[in-house]
Structure 1
């Protein structure tokens, strides 16, 4: 949208940009680079792995697939029995498929207690003998028993597991998956670990899907130590972590800024005989980048090359972001060139990261020049790009150039972000251009850039600052 509405950068704007040496950062695109740009990006290894690590085949969970024929709004067992009796007596040639009745049972289970659901199932079988419960019928009850966040024990779950055995459907590996997922999803991770270990002693071992699902929930909602303990305990049953397991762990500890643990896991991963892939390295790099630790970002990149892992587009974007954020813009510019030489086309994220770093260093005009370079390379700026540059120009005392950029944003219906809005207001008021500040306020309201209350509050605080500064003779 931005490229269609924004059009070309005005010539007057280009003249200011051309004064900066940053306009020669990149060479024109080669034919091979253009061809690479048109090709669809490959699906990352992690995306493929993640899809299979979280979900079992749909067929094994189809007890919940059909829409219920009856909707129960009351948890009253007597009402449910009456409604079922009425439904059966008024329905000619009622289906005999178990899935039809499973959907009815599931509808009642959604509002009732587990004990009443069992009573209702017994009533359904007695009232309509053609209905023969199957394994999925009992998995509905199993899931219900596990889904109560208020339960302080696994007694209800054990009751259903015993019922399954007595009914001729002893628990299997899918039963382990159903119960583990239901327990984790309602916050009962400790019970999930307890049950999975108990079932494992009965040779009902979790498969890869269940195992990695458990690890993900533990490291995300409990602690790294609880996930590590689970991994250690499951090794007794000859169930070992795989590359996906370690990737899940690294991804989550990086999100919590625990980079020391991420590096430890990286060592463990290698010791276990797995080769870290590009996603793993990118994840750790991103963690260091957000902490503004450019040296560590570069260190992970070098280790990646030493391990002969080929960097991808995200690697270079993360590297440029991390170096720019930590004040190493000169190094970031070098990798912009390396990126193109390796066949990766810089995008709006790449350029915006570099612009942000340049503005932080006080080189707002250099960042402005990069905007022209960006267009020359055929890359369309986005809202973040414009707001980053507007913020940098206003902070860098380049208000006139900032206002030119602001006019371009208005023509393109680009919304102001909170930071750039407030900085532009203060820059205008600092020069006594209050009428223009009100116009910016009007645009922020009309374009719904930020909530009205925030827009009013920022304007009010800016005008108060201006009044006080005038009284102290700081501004005219």
Structure 2
């Protein structure tokens, strides 16, 4: 998804640059409330946004940009300003990057282009993702709207929606989608996919399906990522039979189900304890010429262990080992515990050795999981629960 996101944003940005025109933006209001208003208040009486004073550049920032910009009395090009902004952000000085643009606008009437604008929005989003607070992002948008007359475009909204979905703030993502439409932009498949993925992370299958239907109603054609996300979301919320039906819908739309879709179905079946059905799906998948990957096999390892069919899980493990694939941490831990519960300590050590040598999991995780499994076995033997 990350690669898709990057290419999508670059494509949209190139389109904007080539046409040098955007969907009609409203004229800058005399008292800007910006898009943060709806996110931060529910009152009808909105206070106008008042930009804070421009902060001076820090000594570190001045030193860094001294070789990137001309002398203070000479107006820099937009490209030079962009390089300086990116350099400041690369050393974690984004506030200085904003101050620099404000100073250049005040002295030379320089206005950044949309490449710089969206770069800063994305950087501020990533910066504050861990705190789940985007107040500074909306402040940045408000300030650029008032100072430079720059309004969010499709790229900006895509960046914002992507980040709030990663923070699992789906209510805000839905609000931004509405704002995007009101601003005259049409959301594309990528935007809908991001929101669907966000609902998947919360196991909200109904919402995933609702967004999918809304997308089609609005005339946006689903792509293969859309269908894979839909199938995954339905399976994660326990609606495997419904997900299987969408494989047919996927084919009717011209997309052949791939390893991602089939593995999602297998995973959903294994979670329900239907590992034998998952094996049948594996057979159907291979019959259609779709090659399983490490994730497919790891799913079966987990499923067999959950069904207490450890010997079958070991058969799949050996397929993974012979193929030079990695064990996922969850399947490794499940298999190790299953082997120890069966008293198959030597095989548990074999799996442990492969997990370490193949760097499937960190050494700490490998050792701690093995230690916990062996401790369980020791106590089980003391109580006559294992042999």
Q: Shorter-normalised TM-score: what interval?
A: 0.7 to 0.9
The 1-side partners of 2:191 and 2:155 are apart by 10
- 1:141-192: CA deviation from partner (whole Å, max 9, x where unpaired): xxxx97x7845xx699799978342xxx433323432332233332222232
Q: Determine helix, strand or coil for the equivalent of 1:311.
A: coil
What is the TM-score when the length of structure 2 is the normalising length? 0.78
Partner residue in 2 for 1:231? 141
Query: Does structure 1 retain, via aligned residues, the 8 Å contact 2:168–2:198?
Result: yes
Please report how far the alpha carbon of residue 361 of structure 1 lies from its aligned counterpart in structure 2 after TM superposition: 1.2
The 2-side partners of 1:355 and 1:474 are apart by 32
The 2-side partners of 1:351 and 1:312 are apart by 16
Gap runs ≥5 in structure 2: 18-55
Query: Does structure 2 retain, via aligned residues, the 8 Å contact 1:46–1:279?
Result: no
Distance 1:341 1:398, change over 3 A: farther
The 1-side partners of 2:368 and 2:210 are apart by 44
The 2-side partners of 1:368 and 1:390 are apart by 11
Q: Larger C-alpha radius of gyration, 1 or 2?
A: 1
Count of aligned pairs between the two proteins: 340
Q: 2:83 aligns with which of 149, 169, 178?
A: 178
- 1:241-260: CA deviation from partner (whole Å, max 9, x where unpaired): 21111111111222222222
Asked if 1:313 is matched to 2:224, the reply is yes
Higher relative contact order (CA 8 A, sep 6+): 1
What is the TM-score when the length of structure 1 is the normalising length? 0.64
Q: Determine helix, strand or coil for the equivalent of 2:71.
A: helix
The 2-side partners of 1:474 and 1:156 are apart by 67
Query: Does structure 2 retain, via aligned residues, the 8 Å contact 1:52–1:209?
Result: no
The 1-side partners of 2:364 and 2:5 are apart by 44
Distance 1:224 1:50, change over 3 A: farther
Partner residue in 1 for 2:380? 469
Partner residue in 2 for 1:204? 110
Please report how far the alpha carbon of residue 276 of structure 1 lies from its aligned counterpart in structure 2 after TM superposition: 0.2
The 2-side partners of 1:188 and 1:453 are apart by 35
Please report how far the alpha carbon of residue 446 of structure 1 lies from its aligned counterpart in structure 2 after TM superposition: 4.9
Distance 1:255 1:459, change over 3 A: same
The 2-side partners of 1:44 and 1:340 are apart by 22
Gap runs ≥5 in structure 1: 1-42, 58-144
Query: Does structure 2 retain, via aligned residues, the 8 Å contact 1:149–1:187?
Result: no
Asked if 1:411 is matched to 2:319, the reply is no
Q: 1:285 aligns with which of 196, 211, 215?
A: 196
The 1-side partners of 2:366 and 2:260 are apart by 27
- 1:392-428: CA deviation from partner (whole Å, max 9, x where unpaired): 1111222232233223333323332332222222222
Asked if 1:192 is matched to 2:97, the reply is yes
Q: Determine helix, strand or coil for the equivalent of 2:84.
A: helix
Distance 1:332 1:171, change over 3 A: same
Q: 2:308 aligns with which of 397, 413, 417?
A: 397
Please report how far the alpha carbon of residue 443 of structure 1 lies from its aligned counterpart in structure 2 after TM superposition: 3.9
